[in-house]
Amino acid sequence: MSAEEFPLSKNLQYLKPSETVSINQEAQRRRAAGEDIIDLSAGEPDFDTPKLVAEAGIRAIQQGKTHYPPTAGILELRAAVAHHLSLLSGGRPVNADNVVISTGAKQSIYNACMTLFGPGDRVLIPSPAWVSYPQIVHLARAEPVLVPGDIEWSLKVDVDTLERHADSRTRGVILCSPVNPTGAVYSRSELKALAEWTGSRGMWLISDEIYRRIHYGSGPAPSVLDLPDELLQRVVVIYGASKAYAMTGWRIGVALAPRPIAQAMAALQTHITSGASQPAQWAAAAAFGDDRVEAEVAAMVEAFRRRRDLVVAYFRQHLPGVEFVEPLGAFYFFFRVDQYFDGGISSASDFCQQLMASEGVALVPGDAFGDPRWVRLSFAASEKDLNRALERLARFARKLEAAHAAS
């Protein structure tokens, strides 16, 4: 069967399946076939969903809360999210009517892009960037513009760099902080400068804060919700249960947007999903609304912090000279591999393929995030697995160094 025989709609003209998802599935396939694979590709907590949260989902099913939900989400969850986001930002008012619940933050971002952008529009995406942003912008038939971050500044972007990439067709920016794939975190003043710039240009700012609670500084990571109201008029905040609450499979995402945009996103959902799974919404309402769950989230964040420290210390000691971004949030470690190019490899993709084939460690090449000189390691894995994987990685790097020296 060829593409000529079955031509696809123009809607999918740029479509590439998610590389993070496919590498993860390849690692699982190899493991199921009996190979000794350590999978550090998945951007997914290895913890179980907190028991209280899981029980709330089960209770919802047993109580017959199994019908279509209100399309924007059940009020109990939207109110819990509004209260939770308010508390995270020093008690600022957050209105539940501006909250839309979707089938994962991925759909929240999709809804926002479909609602705000269209043919002819350009959308700036600081890069390296999570794989799905450019793809989702393409699905809205708009044009993604990757804006390279500054290597001297944890690969973050500033207003001047955005300005250089903007033109009269630029309608928005998709920002992620803490950043997937680097773990870098934008400070409050950096967020303020970005929001002032998008506001002054009449652009939309989509601020993906799904990793906000996984922050190694004090409290949650800085948010656009810490900024004054006048800077939030054209801002959509993306949040969710997947990462900090270990709920990836429940598929609950959150968007907080100005009322007309929230209404449009909810209307869009009426034709696509009719809203997120109702039992999953009751579970998420417990996650955001029950104080006891917060203690479990704090314990998971502490575990991520120990793992972050372990990976950073290992690289400093055993892979000195390998450049990396020190993660201040999320659970990703982004390191540079172009010093190994020539010794039989010429991209991060080659690096990851050979590492998987010869050492059984699955990582995601930076190619997936817009920069083929880097590799992403997810430290959402046990310390035992991390130690074993790091030893294998160091052995592989020594082999490449030897090949490089001989070439």
124 strand-pairing partners:
145, 173
Give whichever of 43 and 73 is closer to ligand GLU, judged by the CB atom. 43
Give whichever of 127 and 242 is closer to ligand PMP, judged by the CB atom. 242
Give whichever of 43 and 50 is closer to ligand GLU, judged by the CB atom. 43
Nearest to 18 by CA among 109, 142, 132, 136: 132
Decide: helix, strand or coil at residue 255: strand
Smallest gap from Cβ 51 to ligand PMP, in A, equals 21
Smallest gap from Cβ 268 to ligand GLU, in A, equals 20
Give whichever of 234 and 251 is closer to ligand GLU, judged by the CB atom. 251
Smallest gap from Cβ 130 to ligand GLU, in A, equals 6
The pattern of x and - marking residues 315 through 354 that bind ligand PMP according to CB under 6 A reads ----------------------------------------
DSSP state of 70: P
**Is 130 one of the binding residues for ligand PMP (CB under 6 A)?**
yes
Smallest gap from Cβ 132 to ligand GLU, in A, equals 6
240 binds, among ligand PMP, ligand GLU, none (CB under 5 to 8 A by kind): ligand PMP
When CB distances to ligand GLU are compared, the closest residue is 43
Alpha helices in 124-249 (DSSP H): 132-139, 159-165, 188-200
Nearest to 23 by CA among 358, 398, 353, 275: 353
The beta-strand segments (E) located in 96-157 are 99-102, 122-127, 143-148
Give whichever of 183 and 360 is closer to ligand PMP, judged by the CB atom. 183
104 binds, among ligand PMP, ligand GLU, none (CB under 5 to 8 A by kind): ligand PMP
Residues 260-319 that bind ligand PMP (CB under 6 A): none
C-alpha 285/C-alpha 253 separation (Å) is 12
21 binds, among ligand PMP, ligand GLU, none (CB under 5 to 8 A by kind): ligand GLU
Number of Cβ within 10 Å of residue 193's Cβ equals 15
The enclosing H or E element of 260 equals helix 259-272
Q: Which residues bind ligand GLU (CB under 6 A)?
A: 18, 20-21, 42-44, 130-132, 180
Smallest gap from Cβ 181 to ligand GLU, in A, equals 7
Give whichever of 237 and 311 is closer to ligand PMP, judged by the CB atom. 237
Give whichever of 21 and 54 is closer to ligand GLU, judged by the CB atom. 21
**Is 253 one of the binding residues for ligand PMP (CB under 6 A)?**
yes
Residues 6+ apart with CB under 8 A from 291: none
What's the chain's length in residues?
Answer: 407
C-alpha 100/C-alpha 261 separation (Å) is 10
The enclosing H or E element of 171 equals strand 170-176
Give whichever of 205 and 345 is closer to ligand PMP, judged by the CB atom. 205
C-alpha 149/C-alpha 162 separation (Å) is 10
Which tokens in the block code for residue 49?
């969903």
18 binds, among ligand GLU, ligand PMP, none (CB under 5 to 8 A by kind): ligand GLU
Which of 22, 86, 161, 248 is the binder for ligand PMP (CB under 6 A)? 248
Residues 45-104 that bind ligand PMP (CB under 6 A): 104
Burial class (CB in 10 A: 0-12, 13-18, 19+), 392: middle
Give whichever of 345 and 375 is closer to ligand PMP, judged by the CB atom. 375
C-alpha 57/C-alpha 170 separation (Å) is 42
365 strand-pairing partners:
375
Which tokens in the block code for residue 403?
């090949």
Residues 6+ apart with CB under 8 A from 168: none
Site for ligand PMP, rule CB under 6 A: 43, 104-106, 130, 176, 180, 208, 210, 240, 242, 248, 253
